Amino acid sequence: MYRYDEFDEAFVRERVAQFSDQVARRLAGDLDEEQFKPLRLQNGVYLQLHAYMLRIAVPYGTLSSRQMRKLAFIARNYDKGYGHFTTRQNLQFNWPALKDVPEILGHLADVEMHAIQTSGNCIRNVTADHFAGVAADEVADPRPYAEILRQWSTIHPEFLFLPRKFKIAVTGADADRAAVRFHDIGLQVKRNEAGELGFAVWIGGGMGRTPMVGYQIRDFLPEADLLAYSEAIVRIYNLYGRRDNKYKARLKILIHEGGAETIAAEIEQEFNEIRYGVLRLPDDEIRRIETYFAAPDYPTRASESVPFKRARLADPAFDRWVGNNVSPHRAPGHAIVTVSLKPIGGVPGNATADQMDAVADIAERFSADEIRVSHEQNLVLPHVALEDVKAVYDALAAAGLATGNAGLVTDIIACPGLDYCALATARSIPVAERISERFGNPERQQEIGPLKIKISGCINACGHHHAGHIGILGLDRKGEEFYQITLGGSGDETASIGEIVGRGFSTDEVVDAVQQIVDTYIVHRESSEESFLAAYRRLGPAPFKEALYGTA
């Protein structure tokens, strides 16, 4: 893991002091709410429907046990005993008092954490593949690059008042687990024919009310050019992005209206001006940052474990959990464990303080002290020995965290929605809970297979509904919540935006509608090997429309 040195430590302490002073000046009336707003947002403080919300950065989703325990401590002492893991690998507390926020930031600084730039019209927390460094299919660990980008973007004096928010994601494998094509800048670490490291680069992807899949501006950007190229992109965006309408202010709109090739040419020209300047990354410095992310020394293990196999045979629930929540690891005899934060009928992404502590303990004992947060609102234990998997499962079960549904129909992404959010037009969480209950039977879920349902409570699309195989968007129609359904979206390497299937559904109807869609898929799929997404792409919307609305 990255560790702060004296420079980073001094930096984060100064930042806490700065924000404490800003809060004091706000309370004294020297700053009005309009002036204070971007300052608090750049420190993760939102004004929600009922209270302030604090969004804490988990850079590229990597946490140590010590950091997780601190989050549990904050949940217990400053909130209502729980926190909410988000689709950008961050953690939100929904009930802190503004006056306590500087103190909370001080506690975070004690464990090398902060809430900087988790909101506001600036470069946000940089996300990465939650299997980074351990995935069997990875070319290189994306986190050293994400860390370099995190540092460069932190209080960047030129880029704190951009037209709108700006999101960067990095992955290191062909299988895109970081949704890089839905970010303002998406990077995929790769090697060129000469074996040199660099990036495929996408720009201008995003969700929101105008969802767009990113435009691939580079097939291969040498790694030394990472910061110069990023600075060129953000500078062009800062200078030319629209500021007259917040809904047309993202980079995707600049590219859409200006023309991808025109904007790309501007970026390349700017890049050529600064390419060989101070932002060029020296190889030895990249390699030095990389050493922070070196894998633990795994003891040599056989690639198979007899006790693990026996446990699978003996316990069908464990066997099913392994099938869904355990992924291949690049070290023989090891596994990546996904800890589902999607209990049947529960709130997606929520964890209690006790659960956070339990995960911290399990990670300390069985996963080299390391935890990941996934953009699908789950946790990941990245370094588990196969023969420990059963013990991990038992410990998770004791904490109520052994739901074996990763990637299945009840592994739902949902934004906080109208239960918390001031922007929301409808509730998301209760819909997620009801869908989860409807499909809660484990055999039924297994029969349905991989299926991503994503729910947003407004058009801003924090629940990523555009990228859901089944997407649900909650809207308001004359004071009544109703839900629009999209089909066929995907956030992976085959990125696509879901298509609206037809008229929306009431709160009472929406769960039945989802079930009809699922039933229709089961009837039409070629075999159980054909996933929902594959079937939809083959069939198109017609059979689903017919099932939902009758023949046109």
- Tell me the closest approach of the beta carbon of residue 104 to another protein, in angstroms: 18
Chain contacts with another protein (rule: CB under 8 A): 5, 7-8, 10-11, 14-15, 17-18, 20-22, 25, 30-31, 35, 38-39, 121, 151-162, 227, 235, 238-239, 243, 273, 278-279, 281-282, 285, 288
CA angle 230, 234, 239 (to 5 degrees): 150
- Tell me the closest approach of the beta carbon of residue 129 to another protein, in angstroms: 23
Nearest to another protein of 149, 510 (CB atom): 149
Nearest to another protein of 25, 545 (CB atom): 25
Contact 338, 392 (CB under 8 A): no
Element (DSSP H or E) covering residue 453: strand 453-456
- Tell me the closest approach of the beta carbon of residue 283 to another protein, in angstroms: 11
- Tell me the closest approach of the beta carbon of residue 350 to another protein, in angstroms: 33
Among 300, 373, 345, 458, which Cα is nearest to 143's?
Answer: 373
Nearest to another protein of 287, 538 (CB atom): 287
Nearest to another protein of 288, 503 (CB atom): 288
- Tell me the closest approach of the beta carbon of residue 285 to another protein, in angstroms: 6
- Tell me the closest approach of the beta carbon of residue 108 to another protein, in angstroms: 16
CA distance 158 to 384: 43
Contact 507, 483 (CB under 8 A): yes
Using CA of residue 464, residue 466, residue 469, residue 475, what is the dihedral sign?
positive
Nearest to another protein of 11, 95 (CB atom): 11
Contact 85, 373 (CB under 8 A): yes
- Tell me the CB-side half-sphere exposure of residue 390, using CA atoms within 13 A: 15
CA distance 440 to 449: 13
Length of the chain: 552
**Across the chain, which distance is largest between two alpha carbons, in Å?**
68
- Tell me the closest approach of the beta carbon of residue 16 to another protein, in angstroms: 10
Contact 48, 421 (CB under 8 A): yes
CA distance 116 to 54: 11
CA distance 166 to 179: 15
Nearest to another protein of 66, 243 (CB atom): 243
Nearest to another protein of 110, 354 (CB atom): 110
